């Protein structure tokens, strides 16, 4: 086959650069060759696969995370985002990044609470951030007294063992009661060559903005007393399964736009389906504002049209109020907040061929609905 003016053999390495789990290249015949010889770069495959192939499960299963060698994390140069342009360390001629981050937050709804993976990737993919990459790994914080007492009382014995050193795996965290640090999967960012002394500098935009929010610090579920320890597992240039995946998405503006839409969808959904969201007041610095509400309506209207192409044909017959209502109903469905037929009237009217009664025990999504409505 001819790809980009060059003949590619069926058994040659695929020019898209995709690799297997062990890092070896995928053959052309088993990758882009299936698509008639057209490389899958750049196109929507990239943005759709980022979460699937670079998901948090990779971090969860990463046993290379040696807590005995790095009990308090390995990322040393972590800066508050608004101090990244400190004149004491920024190289001469380096473009300041703080104004770019402010522009990013003014023009988008990011960061969204509890959406760290998508926040970090959205920032890196946004126009003007070619020197910024997402980082995936773990952050550690002090374990509060409630959980220490649980451990000392023997109530953690049934938790899954993480290693042979007595560390436990529970609620999506590694619990190290010797150092009294719990480790959670997390994503943040690094700006390349931004320090004359240290080179790359790490920053955590979400942690900076949300750690001082109005949080109920007495809650037994709140272990975030400190955000001091970070352990990096991979960045796009070290992720062997799909090297430089952000660079590939950057080649196509459509892919970037689609990823940002996807990131907002996940963020809004995740924000509203939290069982404990009533204990979090005004977590998002934008939550409840006109900008926040407008972004929700626009985002889920686009999602509705993407998932249901026939809806786009009806768009000209619908008023703005009706489109906004449909979008909000879709958000409720995605967040498992729908309680009765009154909550999906507009969806049922325009998409009558689908079941929206997720509160019905016969619906396939009912178990998830129960989980989020206990």
Domain assignment present for 112: yes
87/232 same-domain check: yes
Whether residue 363 contacts residue 357, with contact meaning beta carbons closer than 8 Å, is answered with yes
More confident residue, 307 or 53: 307
- Spatial separation of the C-alpha atoms in residues 76 and 93, rounded to whole Å: 24
Listed ranges 75-84, 150-159, 267-276; the one with the highest mean pLDDT = 150-159
Domain count, the chain: 3
Give yes or no for residue 23 having a pLDDT over 80: no
pLDDT score of 125: 92
Mean pLDDT rounded to a whole number for the chain: 78
145: containing domain: 57-249
89/216 same-domain check: yes
**What are the C-alpha distances in Å from 110 to residues 123, 130, 194, 226, 287?**
8, 18, 23, 23, 11
Domain assignment present for 274: no
236/184 same-domain check: yes
pLDDT score of 237: 85
Stretch 197-208: mean pLDDT:
85
26/67 same-domain check: no
Q: Which of 186, 185, 194, 183 is nearest to 81 (CA)?
A: 194
Domain assignment present for 351: yes
- Spatial separation of the C-alpha atoms in residues 160 and 170, rounded to whole Å: 7
19/126 same-domain check: no
93/214 same-domain check: yes
**Tens-place pLDDT, residues 329-350:** 999 998 888 999 999 999 999 9
Domain assignment present for 222: yes
pLDDT score of 223: 44
Lowest mean pLDDT among 140-144, 186-190, 318-322, 361-365: 140-144
88/199 same-domain check: yes
pTM: 0.76
229/365 same-domain check: no
22/140 same-domain check: no
234/320 same-domain check: no
Give yes or no for residue 277 having a pLDDT over 80: no
- Spatial separation of the C-alpha atoms in residues 44 and 298, rounded to whole Å: 20
pLDDT score of 43: 44
210/64 same-domain check: yes
């Amino acid at each position: 086959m001819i790809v980009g003016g060059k003949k590619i053999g069926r058994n040659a390495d695929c020019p898209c650069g995709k690799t297997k789990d062990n890092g070896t290249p995928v053959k052309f015949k088993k990758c882009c060759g299936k698509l008639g010889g057209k490389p899958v770069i750049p196109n929507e495959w990239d943005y759709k696969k980022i979460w699937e192939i670079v998901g948090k499960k990779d971090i969860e299963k990463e046993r290379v995370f040696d807590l005995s060698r790095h009990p308090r994390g390995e990322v040393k140069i972590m800066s508050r985002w608004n101090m990244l342009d400190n004149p004491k360390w920024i190289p001469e001629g380096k473009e300041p990044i703080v104004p770019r981050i402010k522009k990013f937050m003014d023009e988008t709804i990011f960061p969204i609470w509890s959406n760290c993976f998508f926040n970090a990737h959205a920032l890196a993919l946004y126009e003007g951030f070619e020197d910024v990459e997402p980082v995936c790994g773990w952050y550690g914080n002090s374990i509060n007294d409630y959980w220490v007492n649980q451990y000392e009382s023997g109530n953690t014995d049934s938790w899954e063992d993480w290693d042979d050193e007595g560390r436990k795996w529970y609620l999506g965290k590694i619990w190290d009661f010797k150092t009294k640090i719990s480790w959670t999967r997390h994503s943040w960012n690094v700006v390349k060559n931004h320090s004359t002394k240290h080179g790359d500098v790490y920053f955590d935009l979400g942690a900076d903005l949300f750690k001082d929010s109005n949080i109920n610090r007495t809650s037994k579920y709140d272990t975030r007393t400190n955000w001091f320890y970070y352990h990096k597992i991979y960045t796009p240039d070290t992720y062997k399964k799909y090297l430089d995946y952000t660079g590939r998405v950057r080649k196509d503006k459509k892919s970037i736009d689609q990823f940002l839409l996807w990131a907002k969808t996940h963020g809004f959904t995740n924000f509203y389906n939290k069982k404990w969201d009533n204990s979090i007041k005004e977590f998002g610095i934008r939550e409840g504002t006109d900008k926040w509400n407008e972004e929700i309506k626009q985002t889920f209207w686009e999602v509705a049209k993407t998932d249901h192409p026939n809806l786009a044909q009806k768009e000209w017959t619908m008023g703005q109020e009706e489109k906004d209502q449909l979008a909000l109903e879709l958000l409720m469905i995605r967040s498992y907040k729908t309680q009765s037929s009154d909550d999906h009237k507009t969806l049922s009217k325009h998409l009558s061929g689908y079941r929206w009664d997720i509160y019905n025990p016969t619906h396939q999504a009912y178990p998830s609905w129960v989980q989020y409505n206990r």
